[in-house]
Amino acid sequence: MKRVAILIGGGGSNMVALADSMTGDHPARPVLVLSHRPGAGGLDKARARGIPIAVVDHRAFPDRAGFETALTAELEKAAVEVICLAGFMRVLTPGFVTRWAGRILNIHPSLLPKYPGLDTHARALAAGDAEAGCTVHEVTADLDSGPILGEARVPVKPGDTPDTLAARVLEREHRLYPAVLRRFVQGDRTPIILP
């Protein structure tokens, strides 16, 4: 069984989708849910599922190096093999990414390479895009630029707001991320395209 850490910063809905998928014959198990925010709602959801939790508050460190040293210590203590970023809103340094190269996944709420970074849904609407979606990719030193492992698309509807579009995309994230993770831990990096 591959040992998976899920790194969160908020409510943890993608963490729940990932954790709940890792049962039965799944080749991985969640061994740690870690947040950079002490009050993240996802911590209680992880605790309710019996998954060990940790908090490494980024505000407690004077620089990224100190924060990432503490982060690495928690991951190593749990003997983590794969890291899933799920609403973890900290940009990781090249040093950290190199340390975990080939073992970090992220879900991003756009059809990469379109709209890396923040405000993806507002940007898609402002551009008049006919569709939006989400992407799971490997994490590299360049923000939202790693190899794409899966995508799911949703139509942009008349009258959509960033919030309504985000809600539809989030539903797809909850299907896509677990599907990609299952393949990834089996060594299959063939991209998944969900309709």
So what's the pLDDT on residue 157? 97
So what's the pLDDT on residue 135? 98
**Domain span including residue 112:** 2-189
So what's the pLDDT on residue 56? 98
pLDDT in tens, 33-91: 999 999 999 999 999 999 999 999 999 999 999 999 999 999 999 999 999 999 998 99
Distance CA 17, CA 128 (A): 30
Among residues 36, 108, 137, 174, the one annotated as catalytic is 108
Length of the chain: 195
Say whether pLDDT at 30 is over 90.
yes
Say whether pLDDT at 195 is over 80.
no
Structural domain contains residue 59: yes
So what's the pLDDT on residue 133? 98
Tell me the CATH number at 61: 3.40.50.170
Structural domain contains residue 144: yes
- Structure pTM? 0.96
Distance CA 115, CA 148 (A): 14
Number of domains in the chain: 1
Q: Is residue 26 among the annotated active site residues?
A: no
